[in-house]
């Protein structure tokens, strides 16, 4: 049997994530960040999932996603309705989940060529 290593056609792969850190490609991040298949924006600084505002989501929406994934740390914490509405009123889907699940979902969607953008809250 011949095995081939598959090399993705996107720049950033999320290799691991929990509530305190994430590994993007070969870098370990310990501060909240935004990730698309083509871009990494470090030091995203929302107050936390429970206090997330539409303004906090503006950098994610500026990347023109069809879907926003919100990783809220060790556990799933839904943001206020106004923050969710910032996506939904623009016709952009938003999914909220714990960081490990958001990381797996991001990689699957990125591998399918979807316009996905994820915000990961770390250190909560």
Query: Given 3.40.630.190, 3.40.1230.10, 3.20.20.110, 1.10.20.10, which CATH number is that of 14-120?
Result: 3.40.1230.10
pLDDT band at 10 (very low <50, low <70, confident <90, very high): confident
Average pLDDT over residues 1-29: 82
Average pLDDT over residues 17-21: 94
Q: Which residues contact 124 (CB under 8 A, 6 or more apart)?
A: 19, 48, 49, 72, 73, 74
What residue spans define the domains of the chain? 14-120
pLDDT band at 6 (very low <50, low <70, confident <90, very high): low
Residue 4 has pLDDT above 60, yes or no: no
Average pLDDT over residues 35-56: 94
Residue 1: what pLDDT?
60
Residue 5: what pLDDT?
54
- pTM here? 0.90
Residue 7: what pLDDT?
58
Contact 65, 36 (CB under 8 A): yes
Quick one: residue 14, left, alpha or beta (phi over 0 = left, psi -120 to 50 = alpha)?
A: beta
Residue 124 has pLDDT above 70, yes or no: no
């Amino acid at each position: 049997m011949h095995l081939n290593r598959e090399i993705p056609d996107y720049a950033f792969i999320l290799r691991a994530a929990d509530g305190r850190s994430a590994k993007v490609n070969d870098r370990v991040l310990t501060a909240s960040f935004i990730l698309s298949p083509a871009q990494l924006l470090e030091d995203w600084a929302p107050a936390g999932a429970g206090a997330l505002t539409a303004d906090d989501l503006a950098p994610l929406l500026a990347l023109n996603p069809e879907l926003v994934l919100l990783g809220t740390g060790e556990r799933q914490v839904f943001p206020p309705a106004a923050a969710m509405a910032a996506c939904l009123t623009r016709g952009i889907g938003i999914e909220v989940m714990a960081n490990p699940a958001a990381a797996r979902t991001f990689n699957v969607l990125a591998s399918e060529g979807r316009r996905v953008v994820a915000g990961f809250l770390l250190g909560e």
